[in-house]
């Protein structure tokens, strides 16, 4: 069941499917009121009983007769400030006379099958008839002669409603959008916790949960070029008793890669207003007659089965109706990246040697990282010069890529297309192309600056260089990095009254370059990156189906980073690699078995020099690659992901992925620190069929050891395979027995068990 219903007599819209209901009413003043958002309810001809009003002290009554309608106490769909509502608005529009008072009244609506395309912006989509229905409501401000369109798309098979807004200006006088949020939702009470994903470089997307209180709370991104490692463009409201598996959760994920605001305001009457969209700070968009502005899309997910239910909805939707192209439904190649193995210190001979070693163990894709272009021997020079450094690579990228393919591998390349060094041919030719404010000091990060992608000629120039490079070479993968935030945001190409558009225009420029390159070279797998995971957002997934999750590749740290990332993002989008030890970020040593077991739950690859590994380690790498090839369809294409034990709350981390037919699964149980004389352990699984008997296999990998421990003598390294049979109900309700002695065999601290589970 899926329908968008309009009741003419009661002027009520009801968007409903088998999972969720969203009910809107046209009020007496022509504005829209939100009556209900939550679990699906039966339709009714009249929902007027859900509207509440009455006289309150200090209420500014906008409709005194026959009732006393006050906007401050009404749950509005797209509220404005200045006409009786004293809370944060969804839009603010400055007019020629300086007034910011607006009055958008209902004019008409349209209910249509399918989903509109957002021109120039990433968004979820549909592929066939009957997948979704869209309600568009037209409101009009007669004094400005401006239309406001509110769009709602209801998916048939998901508890999902997407929203965005569009302003179309027909007035003779110009107007300035100073605040244009994508959506606002109001709730009757404040009994919610706020969940966000926060962090910094090397510890991105840690879940943070706190109780709502009266007043303002929320998160924002002001980095300009990304959503930032500090805050992800996502928030959720959870009932206080909601857990991973039970309770009500409302998720709000913004499909955008620039400055954003997620604002939650609780009134002194316990009402909660949530709005999300482009951050109004440093934003002002000028609209002249005949011009329009479209906000980014927000994807709203309702779950009555806890945070896990919300996450699996986002995973399925983003995996199948946000990510596009031939790589959407394909398992990702296993790669070796040279960065942590060589950094800038390499030549063609070294790279080809690494490629041959990679081929011998079963790697499918070799990626050449930073240092191949311009005069790039360190991070002080070369950015912007996207042509090969022939001193390092005499064959050029075209020649090297063909040599790597002759070895039997695909070839990939690192780029940082939005950046420029002063020591570059591009800067010497176009010093005005970087973002800078006239007469002001220029901040730099890593000796680099940001190119002004709000200018079409800049985007065109970079596209031209990349087009020639990709056209002439055998390139199968591009890692698109972005290593600094935006400072001194000013464009030399924009007039003074349009400088407030610059940061959004920049993001539109990035999207346009992605669109051109991915359309011209659809067979190339693009991976987005930004100092690791500082640009992990839905907008990027629309163009690049995977994102480098974090520069912190330590397996123990990745348990937290990947756990938090999975709150919104599908496992297939998480770039995860096995790196060398001691780890380059934290100097920690973790077992090779653990490093691979964590990295399996992502796109999987290696970031080390294989030639430096022992024979036992190389044998393990071969087995790991074979394991991933056998299971990557389950992990990246077919599986549903379940979080079991949080590394933020426990010494142990547990998660698993289960095929949609529940016939196969992989489960990870990992500990941080080993314990002395500890209690017994039961690892309880999720998502299996209780009536199916499964075969459970796992390995105990003992790395080489030259000492005795608990009666276990020295070993050159060995692998012991175990298996047992059990029904799904036993595995979920009683759990797997985890033997404490095996923790010692697996290395003690940072040991991990990986379970293969297959129906008999």
User: What is the set of active-site residues?
Assistant: 481, 551
> Do 503 and 283 form a contact (C-beta atoms < 8 A)?
yes
Per-residue DSSP letter, 705 = B
Dist. CA 713–CA 404, nearest whole Å: 43
Per-residue DSSP letter, 362 = T
606 contacts: CB under 8 Å, gap ≥ 6 = 335, 336, 337, 358, 363, 577, 578, 579, 621
Q: Largest alpha-carbon pair distance within the chain?
A: 89
Angle at 571 (CA atoms; ends 569, 577), nearest 5 degrees: 120
DSSP letter for each residue of 287-340: E-TT-EEEPPEEEEEEESBHHHHHHHHHHHHHHHHTS-STTTTSPPPPEEE-HH
Dist. CA 178–CA 167, nearest whole Å: 12
DSSP letter for each residue of 477-528: EEEE-------S---TTS-GGGGGGHHHHHHHHHHHHHHHHHHH-TTSEEEE
Residue with tokens 């329009």: 292
Per-residue DSSP letter, 636 = I
Computed over its alpha carbons, how large is the radius of gyration of the chain? 27
Q: Is 66 in a helix, a strand, or coil?
A: coil
Dist. CA 453–CA 482, nearest whole Å: 13
Dist. CA 2–CA 130, nearest whole Å: 9
Dist. CA 109–CA 153, nearest whole Å: 13
* Helix segments in 608-674, DSSP class H: 615-633
DSSP letter for each residue of 212-249: --SEEEEEEE--SSSSTTTEEEEEEEE-TT--SSSB-E
* β-strand partners of 112: 134
The Cβ of residue 202 has, within 10 Å, a number of other Cβ atoms equal to 18
């Amino acid at each position: 069941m899926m329908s968008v219903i309009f009741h003419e007599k009661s002027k009520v819209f009801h968007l409903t499917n088998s999972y969720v209901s969203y009910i809107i009413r046209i009020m007496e003043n022509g504005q829209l009121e939100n009556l209900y958002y939550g679990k699906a309810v039966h339709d009714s001809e009249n929902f007027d009983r859900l509207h509440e009003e009455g006289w309150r002290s200090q209420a500014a009554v906008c409709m005194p007769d026959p009732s006393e309608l006050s906007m401050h106490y009404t749950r509005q769909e797209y509220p404005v400030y200045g006409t009786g509502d004293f809370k944060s608005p969804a839009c603010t529009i400055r007019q020629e006379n300086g007034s910011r008072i607006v009055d958008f009244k209902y004019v008409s609506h349209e209910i249509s099958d399918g989903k509109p395309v957002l021109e120039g912006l990433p968004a979820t989509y549909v592929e066939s008839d009957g997948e979704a229905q869209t309600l568009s409501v037209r409101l009009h401000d007669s004094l400005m002669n401006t239309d406001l369109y509110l769009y709602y798309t209801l998916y048939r098979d998901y508890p999902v409603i997407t929203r965005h807004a569009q302003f179309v200006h027909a007035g003779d006088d110009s107007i300035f959008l100073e605040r244009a949020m994508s959506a606002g939702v109001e709730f009757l009470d404040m009994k919610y916790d706020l969940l966000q994903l926060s962090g910094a470089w090397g510890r991105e997307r840690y879940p943070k949960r706190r109780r709502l209180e009266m007043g303002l709370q929320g998160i924002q991104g002001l980095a300009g070029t990304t959503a930032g490692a500090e805050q992800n463009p996502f928030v959720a409201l959870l009932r206080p008793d909601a857990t991973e598996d039970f309770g009500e959760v409302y998720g709000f994920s913004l499909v955008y890669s620039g400055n954003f605001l997620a604002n939650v305001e609780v009134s002194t009457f316990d009402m909660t207003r949530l709005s999300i969209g482009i951050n109004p700070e440093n934003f002002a968009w000028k609209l002249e007659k005949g011009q329009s502005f479209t906000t980014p899309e927000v994807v709203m997910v309702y779950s009555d089965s806890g945070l896990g239910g919300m996450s699996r909805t986002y995973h399925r939707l983003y995996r199948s109706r946000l990510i596009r192209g031939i790589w959407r439904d394909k398992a990702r190649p296993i790669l070796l990246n040279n960065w942590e193995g060589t950094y800038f210190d390499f030549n063609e001979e070294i790279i080809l040697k690494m490629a041959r070693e990679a081929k011998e163990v079963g790697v499918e894709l070799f990626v050449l990282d930073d240092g191949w272009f311009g005069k790039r021997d360190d991070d002080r020079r070369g950015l912007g010069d996207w042509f090969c450094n022939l001193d390092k690579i005499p064959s050029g990228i075209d020649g090297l890529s063909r040599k790597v393919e002759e070895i039997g591998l695909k070839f990939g390349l690192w780029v940082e297309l939005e950046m420029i060094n002063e020591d570059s041919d591009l800067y010497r030719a176009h010093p005005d192309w970087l973002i800078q404010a006239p007469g002001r000091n220029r901040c730099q990060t890593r000796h680099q600056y940001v190119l002004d992608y709000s200018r079409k000629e800049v985007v065109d120039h970079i596209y031209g260089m990349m087009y020639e490079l990709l056209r002439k070479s055998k390139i199968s993968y591009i890692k698109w990095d972005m290593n600094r935030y935006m400072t001194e945001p000013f464009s030399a190409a924009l007039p003074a009254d349009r400088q407030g558009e610059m940061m959004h225009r920049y993001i539109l420029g990035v999207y346009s370059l992605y669109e051109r390159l991915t359309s011209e070279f659809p067979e190339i797998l693009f991976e987005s990156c930004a100092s690791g995971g500082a640009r992990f957002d839905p907008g990027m997934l629309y163009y690049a189906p995977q994102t480098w999750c974090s520069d912190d590749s330590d397996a123990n740290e990745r348990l937290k980073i990947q756990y938090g990332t999975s709150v919104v993002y599908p496992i297939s989008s998480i770039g995860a690699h096995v790196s060398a030890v001691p780890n380059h970020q934290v100097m920690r040593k973790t077992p090779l078995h653990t490093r691979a077991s964590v990295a399996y739950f992502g796109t999987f690859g290696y970031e080390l020099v294989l030639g430096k590994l022992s024979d036992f380690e190389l044998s393990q790498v071969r087995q790991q690659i074979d394991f991933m090839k056998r299971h990557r369809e389950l992990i990246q294409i077919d599986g549903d992901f379940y979080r079991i034990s949080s590394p933020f709350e426990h010494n142990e981390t547990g998660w698993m992925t289960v095929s949609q037919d529940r016939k196969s699964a992989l489960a990870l149980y990992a500990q941080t620190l080993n314990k002395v004389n500890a209690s017994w352990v039961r690892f309880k699984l999720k998502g299996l069929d209780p009536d199916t008997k499964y075969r459970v296999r796992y390995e105990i990998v003992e790395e080489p050891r030259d000492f005795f421990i608990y009666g276990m003598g020295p070993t050159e390294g060995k692998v012991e395979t175990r298996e047992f049979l059990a029904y799904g109900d036993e595995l979920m309700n009683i759990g797997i027995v985890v033997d404490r002695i095996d923790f010692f065999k697996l290395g003690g601290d940072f040991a991990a068990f990986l379970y293969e589970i297959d129906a008999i």
